A and B are shown apart, each in its own frame.
Chain A
Amino acid sequence: MTDGPAETVESVAGTAIPVRGNDIDTDQIIPARFMKVVTFDGLGEYAFFDQRFDDEDNQKEHPFNEERFQGANVLVVNQNFGCGSSREHAPQALQRWGIDAIVGESFAEIFAGNCLAMGIPTVTADTETVRALQDYVDKYPDTEVTVDVAAEQVHYDEQTVEVVVDDGQRMALVEGIWDTTALMKSNSDAVAETAASLPYVDSE
């Protein structure tokens, strides 16, 4: 997803998985010891590893271990999700596990930026709305959930709730312009001009 021409992400549909708790940091999403790698391949199995397994690798209680949530692609979280380090390994691990969109009360900034660079929407809603969605999919895990990025809505069963998608994120995803390398590469003359205008950059 991170390479090649950008696709558009107008909406994401599938089943949802709730991971509850505020301030879930990137060390929980992917412990640092799994970052001793030079590619992102295979990171999916380490998502939330220490929350999912004990020291003897026995499964602990965690939504990512539960049979009923396997195959889910919409993650539903609470406040300040993804705080801590800038490691893109965190959203990469989630994406490789199967997550294509995240609904939450709030997100840490670098984490949300990383998600956008990978084409994963991070949409927000108030506490009540998010908890209601978590409770609902907990009870009915087969519910089809649609995150409509363009319309800033989430649909599940008969319900439609309003969510917020940051303006820049919405435009980037809906119009397929979230591959910023391509966007910026086309401005290289203007870049050289800016560089030349800065007193600390040695111009050849």
Chain B
Amino acid sequence: MSEGTLYDKVWENHRVTTLPNGQDQLFVGLHLIHEVTSPQAFGMLKERDMEVAYPELTHATVDHIVPTADQSRPFSDDAAEEMMRELEENVREAGIEFDDPTTGDQGIVHVIGPEQGITQPGKTIVCGDSHTSTHGAFGALAFGIGTSQIRDVLATGCVAMDKKDVRKIEVTGELGEHVTAKDVILTIIRRLGTEGGVGYVYEYAGEAIEALGMEGRMSICNMSIEGGARAGYVNPDETTYEWLRDTDAFADDPERFAELKPYWESIRSDADAEYDDVVTIDGSAIEPMVTWGTTPGQGVGISEPIPEPESLPEGKQETARRAQEHMRVEPGDTMAGYDVDVAFLGSCTNARLADLRDAATVVKGRQVDDSVRAMVVPGSQRVKAAAEAEGLDELFREAGFEWRGAGCSMCLGMNEDQLQGDEACASSSNRNFVGRQGSKDGRTVLMSPRMVAAAAVTGEVTDVRDLPTREVEV
């Protein structure tokens, strides 16, 4: 078992007791809720005549079903409107803070927590959403939970969990030009597999991780679950503290910052911490990555050939054959030149200000290809406003992108932003599962925001390194 890691320390600090079923009861420092997975939990709570135990540690937003074109009420989709009303009623009754679209603070749950500074090192953070692992970028212990567990947290302020093993993933060296955090995590998942992380929490470390900004660290932790790991984290450092200093939580309260910093420092993994497993990846060897299949583990470097199914481990061959048929790709080819119909720049993985700026350097001075429907869906209303203040909206619009409101949007197609028929989408999101983007024949190619931008302007999957980029003045 691991010892002296951030995971061990945060776990121990939050452990209330060991339950008769052998699980540990962990106190939850921040419970984030949204409209899709919480209504049934509130329903269960009412049936048992229980109240929300810690409303002040609970924070709500609306993201999955919210329209990104016209957010005026009532929403045009009746089902979406009903879910919104249910959430409004639940948070009002319980006294939970809710960032609805009228506040200017609404956005994807994994974007708003970090931007408001309620995501902090050394907290336990849960949400009924598998991408809750995102918050681990700050050195929080953050994981997705199901609806019955949401009921647990609402009723008790705690979650029952088994302790996992810790795998340290050390990404050494310096990332190449145009190689981003997204390419790092797609490489990790390809190498360790979509189920390689089951039973583990991932600690991301090494020069290449330390050199990343918070947005990049969030992209990596976000997709931990795509590698099977329920949580992933990066030890907090100066980069983390810099981000936190400017957030709502601390901008006007430097004393609070000074008060908490020793705690944040104390939960960092010790230099001599013991891990259950250590994996080293050469960051300098990573190139821009794209997926060729229908799981996030089915990725290749942009210049590499799509693998022959027979060359893969036996258990992965059939999935690969079916994926190649669905995607209409041939082993031996590269993904470069694969025609795309839609370019989606959004999602909790890659829709923060830094992601939009990144894509803008590629888009500037170019036009979206005639064959492509391209959209930018900022991760939050604040990201949108900040981007507009820099003129990014104009840059994207002039290039032919749609500039939309904040939400999960085409990452999972629960609002009207969906692929049609067998459209192929260059997407900065996290899942390329069949049907994920709203059409069961749709074809998703996962990639970084820069690569999405490159695909949007060329109409096909393109190595962004072949396109000269331009400075965007901000």
Measured CB to CB, the residues of A under 8 A from B are: 2-3, 21-23, 25, 27-28, 31-33, 35-40, 50, 79-80, 83-89, 91-92, 106-110, 113-114, 117-118, 127, 166-168, 171-172, 175, 177-178, 180-181, 183-185, 187-188, 190-191, 193-195, 197-202
Contacts and interface: CB of A to CB of B under 8 A. Distances in A.
Interface of B: 13-17, 19-23, 25, 27, 29, 36-37, 39-40, 43-44, 47-48, 50, 53-54, 56-57, 64-65, 77, 79-80, 82-83, 86, 120, 122-123, 128-130, 132, 144-149, 151-152, 155-158, 160, 162, 194-195, 198-199, 225, 228, 230, 259-260, 263, 295, 315-316, 318-319, 322, 412-414, 431, 433-436, 438, 440
Nearest to B412: A32
21 contacts: A22-B318, A23-B295, A27-B433, A33-B414, A36-B65, A37-B83, A86-B37, A87-B146, A108-B198, A110-B225, A167-B22, A180-B152, A184-B158, A185-B156, A188-B156, A191-B16, A193-B16, A195-B27, A200-B29, A200-B123, A200-B260
A58 B59 CA distance: 43
B160 A183 contact: yes
Contact of B21 (A79, A172, A198): A172
B146 A3 contact: no
B316 A117 contact: no
Given A22-B316, A110-B144, A168-B22, 19 more contacts: A2-B148, A23-B194, A27-B435, A33-B413, A36-B77, A37-B83, A38-B83, A83-B295, A85-B129, A86-B129, A86-B145, A87-B36, A88-B37, A177-B20, A184-B16, A187-B17, A187-B158, A194-B16, A200-B263
Leading 4 A-B pairs by shortest Cβ distance: A117-B148, A114-B146, A86-B144, A36-B79
Nearest to A167: B22
Contacts of B147: 40, 88-89, 92, 114
A108 B195 contact: yes
Contacts of A190: 16-17
- Give the one of B17, B83, B225, B433 with max A CB within 10 A: B433
Contact of A32 (B158, B259, B295, B413): B413
A22 B315 contact: yes
Given A27-B433, A86-B128, A87-B37, A109 B230 contact: yes
B21 A171 contact: yes
B123 A184 contact: no
Contacts of A36: 65, 77, 79-80, 83, 414
Contact of A106 (B146, B152, B198, B260): B198
A57 B413 CA distance: 20
Given A84-B431, A88-B147, A191-B27, A181 B162 contact: no
Contact of A183 (B19, B149, B440): B19
B1 to A, nearest CB: 15
Contacts of A86: 37, 128-130, 132, 144-146
A48 B148 CA distance: 22
A199 B263 contact: yes
A83 B228 contact: yes
Given A36-B79, A88-B40, A191-B16, A181 B156 contact: yes
A184 B160 contact: yes
A25 B43 CA distance: 26
Contacts of A167: 22
Contacts of B132: 86
A156 to B, nearest CB: 24
A191 B158 contact: yes
B290 to A, nearest CB: 19
Contact of B228 (A3, A21, A80): A80
Contacts of B145: 86, 110, 113
Contact of B130 (A38, A85, A127, A202): A85
Contacts of A38: 39-40, 43, 82-83, 86
B438 A33 contact: yes
A88 B194 contact: no
A183 B21 contact: yes
A53 B147 CA distance: 27
Contacts of B318: 21-22
B146 A195 contact: no
Contacts of B43: 38-39
Nearest to B15: A194
Given A108-B228, A198-B27, A50 B440 contact: yes
Contacts of B162: 166, 168
A27 B434 contact: yes
Nearest to B441: A55
B155 A175 contact: no
Contacts of B13: 197-198
A191 B322 CA distance: 49
A87 B31 CA distance: 16
Contact of A184 (B39, B82, B156, B440): B156
A114 B148 CA distance: 7
A55 B460 CA distance: 27
Contacts of A50: 434-435, 440
- Give the one of A79, A87, A106, A175 with max B CB within 10 A: A87
A43 B359 CA distance: 39
B399 to A, nearest CB: 29
A118 B44 CA distance: 12
Given A168-B162, A183-B19, A194-B27, A37 B431 contact: no
A78 B464 CA distance: 38
